[in-house]
Structure 1
Amino acid sequence: MPSSEPQLIKMDSEIACSEVSKEGPALPQVEAAESGAQELQEIRKLLWGPTIRVDVFRRWSQGFEFSDTEPSALVQKEGGPCAVIAPVQAYLLKILIMDTPGHFLKNLTQDKCRHMLIQALCTILSKCCTKRYRIVSLPMETCAEAKEVLNTLNDIPAVNIGSDASAETATKEADAAADLPSTAGTVRVADAREVSSDAYHEGLQVLNFETIEEVEKYYTEHWQVLSGQYGVMLFLYTVLITKNIDNVISELSDTSEPLIHNTYGYGSQALINLMLTGRAVAHVWDNDQDVGGLKLRGINEQSDIGFITLMEQMRYCTVGSFYKNPKNPVWVMGSETHLTVLFSAEKRLVSPETPSELARRVFKSYDPEGNNFIPADVLQDVLAALDLVNEPEYVEIMQKRLDPEGLHIILLNAFMDEFFPQEQRSTPDTFDLMHYNGIPGSNEGNKVHYSKGSAILLESDLKSVCISNPMLTCLQTKWPNIEINWHDMRIPSLN
């Protein structure tokens, strides 16, 4: 049986405490490991690029924190870390509505929400694990020799590399820290207000676990690792180092751009895909596609959590069926700058497709412009994709029947009436949807809460395009004929 005591690796092998504060429990055994330090340096470069902007790093410096008004809703304090927070929230909601149904959202206890959060994190890590689980942490307690690395001690203000603090101020604060006796206490990173990006990276440590049960136990007993100043970033580093940096790089089609935008701080699509599926591919279509001889990797199987985006309506990408039709009725929603979460307790929203729904999806895959018709010369390909009769002679007969006026197009309705006259739906005509946006300022009253709406799927295939309603526009990429009324009469924000 493997030991449940984690093996600890310091990023900077020169910093090892000879003593541990008597006030706290003994640290796990410290072991120098240049390979672990090297991996963390590579992760830093892959995430941030050669330099880290002070303001971007600061926006990402937050822990996992729940809303005061919605017990299970995570709060995103500033723009940027939604690439981690929204997928984590999506998996938490999946656990809540699919694995433990029957809870009233407002009556969830703090312990229950924390437990579901840890379960969500462990689910994401399980998708990324190739050999063992490697948890990145900052030491909750460290001896006096390491306090310069953390750049903060008790009430002494932090000095940020690259900030506007003068050299004289930095020298005075450093001298003040050095003058404190070694028995003055220990640095608690979870309580620290802020450290520089350099100090953060120099203080990282890696804990090795063999099983996901050990990881869950560690996070349960060390909640401050997740809730402290750098909880979100620490989990992101944990995902990447558990996945193994070489595996991440092999899945990326382009490593010239960092996973976090160095100016605006938002996460790339590859980072979002990694958090949702465990694979750091850059595209959202189904499987791999050959574009001009270049193999571009997409989503390779039906995802547990879905993804839809306003960018598809703007023709910037094509979201495949594996994302639009996930295993659970939970979708991360993308706007131009932010990620939110859509979810429902209606399990029929993810029921297996009926033959007629499959036919509509395949037909529309040959109609990327959304015109509800296809060129007549691709009819044979559509029939073949649906395992229908597709011999040339038969296809020619059907082309004349479906296109009697010789316009060289096949209308969707004509195709469905011919091949699937008794069309059936697996999706109900009416259902409730709920929406989460983690930024307080994007919620009514500046308090993060879930918005609820009643949706109806109209009979017509014609959709109303409303540029002033990005929410509806995004929903129509999944349900083209949807209409929805939000209960509080306020359309939720995607930004």
Structure 2
Amino acid sequence: MVASVEEVSSSLVREYLSRKGLKRTIACMDEEHPRTEASINNRSQLRETLHIEDLYRKNKVDKSPFKTLLEIIVKHHIEQFVSLEPNDTKADEITSAVVCGKQSKIRPETEEECPSQPSYRSLMCEQDGLSSHDHIASANDSDCQKSQPLIPFLENNVSFGQRKPDINTMKPEDTQRSRSNRIRRGMMAGPVPQESTKKRQSRRAEVSQPLLSKEEENKQAQERLLFTGIHKKNLERSLTGISIADCGGGKPSGRVQSENSNGKVEQNMQKTRNVKTEPNLSDLNVSELVLDDIDDDDLREFSKVSLQRTVAKCQYTGRPMDKQTATELKAVLLGSSLNYFSVEWRNQSFTFSEIPELSYGIVQRKGGPCGVLASIQAFVLKKLLFENTEISYTGLQRLRPSNATRRQCLVLAMAEILWRAGEEKQATVAIKSGKSHFTPSDHFRSEEVLEKIMCFTVDNLKDLQFILEQHIEQFDSGMLGCILLTISAVLSRSVEKVREDMDVPSTTLIGAHGYCTQELVNLLLCGRAASNVFDNDMELDSGNGNMMLLKGIKSHCDVGLLSLFEHYNICKVGAYLKTPSYPIWVVCSESHFSVLFGLQRELLTNEDKGLEFDLYYYDGLANQQEEIRLTISIGNLSQSFQEVDTDLIPPLELCIRTRWKDAFVSWNDTEPLL
């Protein structure tokens, strides 16, 4: 199958943007030009399609190799171009074609040579869509230039619905007017001074309109009066913090706007003075504005107004972190206000993988906060695979999301976790600010984390999603993304309720060596910091008639959990976690958390022997370079395999068999993880 030129080109551009780290540009491209099944997401396949394996190998051995395929291709063509002789006619014509953006015919050698022209003339010729006659007349009137061949496309192109007048039939005054118009539009050779927006607006205000009828003038006059007289004061005060001087007290810089009996309107330009008051967004009413003669700059300004009104509707007043709350947070997270977050926690954010096959995966830099990352990863997969209605793809195609899609899924995943922790009544988002809000003391170790946090509490899910989206950079690319989400979850639940959820109130959410405890994972998965993974609560007789209450999972969870400790009979994972609402499990194995997930929800209810299905495994810490697909066959575990030494069985398989007994696991030519 021959690859599409458009798809290969798009894939080449995406590879360049990805290697350069231009995430926002890729997101915009994916929105305007979405990926299809024919898109190439593998660099090796892209090299084979373009037949540039030799160029790629040559680039790798270079002293300064390029990182992108597009740069390698460009370098190759530039080197070929430079290798041509300087006086080669072919080289000159290639240069002309590159500059003008088109191919021209090769002129005969007997043709009279023309003096070289600046390159910006050719660019102007292409940008303005001029005919060859206009281009020659605007630059030079020499016969040599008139002898240049015409380009049919430019001759027949009528940009403004009418043909340009012939220069030879124009009157002297028309010619002069045409030349001045071309100079104003930047079509004549030579530098043209650029006008500022303020000058353009001033000129537009003073220019007369003799061609308008009285009826049209009256209509425009009414519109200008309505805009200027009613809304201009409120608009400028709200947007820029300035107020218009009153006609009696201010010093007008132009003519006062008035309407005479004939309906003629004179423009009024009035000076403004700066004031130090904050913008009053409540005075804005953009829906009632009547606009006249709006250019691109004005449209951008009014877009800002619309955005500010949206922010104003959803804005919540943040409260700074106080010392008492910070002390309680450190105690429940780290055990003492004198302890501090490790480097692994401070440097961890929710950054997605740049490997195309694993673009859905969140990368973990170092060990420690794997429980938080795996929990977030599980809910991102839930949004991506089962709840994202904007994607028309199904199954495995959903595991190749665009940057915009996976970022949106991250926002929705964090919002769901925090909303559940707040019992679906309220939630708190911790955002880092630029200044400290309290002074640490001897009983509180300062590390410039909790001191600089602002807390935003909301009482509905939409506003929660809005706040997270507005500050998503602090979570997916900031240094403290993992810490901020953990603090937000604790504050949403409240420190008091987190301690009530635990068997022992003095338990911490971050254990030895910076590992996540089961309480923290349960808080993120189920909304409660329970200490156990069995269903409901249990009473344990501790002797002497004393009963100890062991707290477990209260109800079915959307995302489940499988534990290697259950294989060793250390704990028992209940059905609430083992059979979640979606086929996604956080896997606890060897003091590390990772994610196991399927694409079909039917496998949760079908327990028939002989059933075969695929599960996918992702570990953000294992430097995973390729997709790991496991084929699970229920009831096909042979007796000889059961007698194999368990030390040679991958721990992941043992975890899977706690959910599907006697399941045979095929790694599908992937190296098993021991």
| Distance apart, 1:83 and its partner CA | 1.5
The answer on whether the counterparts of 1:61 and 1:233 sit within 8 Å (CA) in structure 2 is no
Alignment pair present for 1:218 and 2:503: no
User: 1:140-193: CA deviations, max 9, x gaps?
Assistant: x45xxx59989xxxxxxxxxx9xxxxxxxxxxxxxxxxxxxxxxxxxxxxxxxx
Letter in 2 for 1:234: L
Partner of 1:453: 630
Alignment pair present for 1:436 and 2:593: no
| Distance apart, 1:460 and its partner CA | 6.5
| Distance apart, 1:215 and its partner CA | 1.6
- Superposed CA RMSD: 2.7
Equivalent pairs counted in the alignment come to 343
Q: Structure 1 or 2: larger helix share? A: 2
The answer on whether the counterparts of 1:430 and 1:456 sit within 8 Å (CA) in structure 2 is yes
Alignment pair present for 1:274 and 2:568: no
Q: Distance in 1 between matches of 2:664 and 2:354?
A: 31
Q: Distance in 1 between matches of 2:503 and 2:399?
A: 43
Q: Structure 2 vs 1, CA of residues 258 and 126 (structure 1 numbering), >3 Å: closer, same or farther?
A: same
| Distance apart, 1:484 and its partner CA | 1.4
| Distance apart, 1:329 and its partner CA | 0.5
Alignment of 1:119-134 (within 5 A): 119-130=412-423, 131-134=425-428
- Pick aligned residue for 1:255 from 495, 502, 505: 505
The answer on whether the counterparts of 1:451 and 1:486 sit within 8 Å (CA) in structure 2 is yes
Q: Distance in 2 between matches of 1:285 and 1:148?
A: 42
Q: Which runs of 5+ in 2 are unaligned?
A: 1-309, 542-546
Partner of 1:357: none
Q: Distance in 1 between matches of 2:588 and 2:344?
A: 23
The answer on whether the counterparts of 2:385 and 2:398 sit within 8 Å (CA) in structure 1 is no
Which has the higher mean CA deviation after the structures are superposed, 84-93 or 449-458? 449-458
Secondary structure at the residue paired with 2:484? Answer: helix
Partner of 1:66: 352
Q: Structure 2 vs 1, CA of residues 457 and 8 (structure 1 numbering), >3 Å: closer, same or farther?
A: same
| Distance apart, 1:47 and its partner CA | 0.3
Secondary structure at the residue paired with 2:374? Answer: helix
Alignment of 1:59-458 (within 5 A): 59-69=345-355, 70-100=358-388, 102=394, 104-105=397-398, 107-130=400-423, 131-139=425-433, 141-142=434-435, 198-227=447-476, 228-261=478-511, 263-292=512-541, 293-351=547-605, 425=607, 429-439=611-621, 442-444=622-624, 447=625, 449-458=626-635
Q: Distance in 1 between matches of 2:313 and 2:505?
A: 37
The answer on whether the counterparts of 1:467 and 1:473 sit within 8 Å (CA) in structure 2 is no
Partner of 1:7: 317
Q: Which runs of 5+ in 1 are unaligned?
A: 13-36, 151-160, 162-195, 354-424
| Distance apart, 1:257 and its partner CA | 3.1
| Distance apart, 1:211 and its partner CA | 1.5
The answer on whether the counterparts of 2:501 and 2:529 sit within 8 Å (CA) in structure 1 is yes
Partner of 2:647: 467
Q: Distance in 2 between matches of 1:83 and 1:55?
A: 15
| Distance apart, 1:344 and its partner CA | 0.4
| Distance apart, 1:60 and its partner CA | 4.4
The answer on whether the counterparts of 1:349 and 1:427 sit within 8 Å (CA) in structure 2 is no
User: 1:340-365: CA deviations, max 9, x gaps?
Assistant: 000001211212x7xxxxxxxxxxxx
Q: Structure 2 vs 1, CA of residues 460 and 203 (structure 1 numbering), >3 Å: closer, same or farther?
A: closer
| Distance apart, 1:288 and its partner CA | 0.9
Secondary structure at the residue paired with 2:664? Answer: strand
Q: Distance in 2 between matches of 1:265 and 1:107?
A: 32
User: 1:410-433: CA deviations, max 9, x gaps?
Assistant: xxxxxxxxxxxxxxx458610001
Letter in 2 for 1:135: V
| Distance apart, 1:321 and its partner CA | 1.2
| Distance apart, 1:324 and its partner CA | 0.9
Secondary structure at the residue paired with 1:7? Answer: coil
Q: Structure 2 vs 1, CA of residues 93 and 129 (structure 1 numbering), >3 Å: closer, same or farther?
A: same
Partner of 1:486: 667
Q: Distance in 1 between matches of 2:563 and 2:615?
A: 16
| Distance apart, 1:436 and its partner CA | 0.8
The answer on whether the counterparts of 1:118 and 1:219 sit within 8 Å (CA) in structure 2 is yes
Q: Distance in 1 between matches of 2:554 and 2:455?
A: 30
Q: Distance in 2 between matches of 1:297 and 1:344?
A: 29
The answer on whether the counterparts of 2:637 and 2:664 sit within 8 Å (CA) in structure 1 is no
Letter in 2 for 1:125: L
Secondary structure at the residue paired with 2:449? Answer: helix
Q: Distance in 1 between matches of 2:438 and 2:428?
A: 26
Structure number, greater radius of gyration: 2
Q: Distance in 2 between matches of 1:148 and 1:290?
A: 43
| Distance apart, 1:39 and its partner CA | 2.7
The answer on whether the counterparts of 2:536 and 2:553 sit within 8 Å (CA) in structure 1 is yes
User: 1:415-473: CA deviations, max 9, x gaps?
Assistant: xxxxxxxxxx458610001001011xx244xx4x5411111112569672632221111
Q: Distance in 1 between matches of 2:351 and 2:340?
A: 22
Q: Which runs of 4+ in 1 moved over 6 A?
A: 147-150, 460-463
Q: Distance in 2 between matches of 1:60 and 1:487?
A: 37
Secondary structure at the residue paired with 2:552? Answer: coil
Q: Distance in 2 between matches of 1:52 and 1:435?
A: 38
Letter in 1 for 2:629: K
The answer on whether the counterparts of 1:57 and 1:197 sit within 8 Å (CA) in structure 2 is no
Q: Distance in 2 between matches of 1:472 and 1:5?
A: 48
Letter in 2 for 1:325: T
Q: Structure 2 vs 1, CA of residues 480 and 298 (structure 1 numbering), >3 Å: closer, same or farther?
A: same
The answer on whether the counterparts of 2:635 and 2:661 sit within 8 Å (CA) in structure 1 is no
The answer on whether the counterparts of 2:418 and 2:428 sit within 8 Å (CA) in structure 1 is no
Secondary structure at the residue paired with 1:267? Answer: coil
Partner of 1:372: none
Q: Structure 2 vs 1, CA of residues 201 and 327 (structure 1 numbering), >3 Å: closer, same or farther?
A: same
Secondary structure at the residue paired with 2:342? Answer: helix
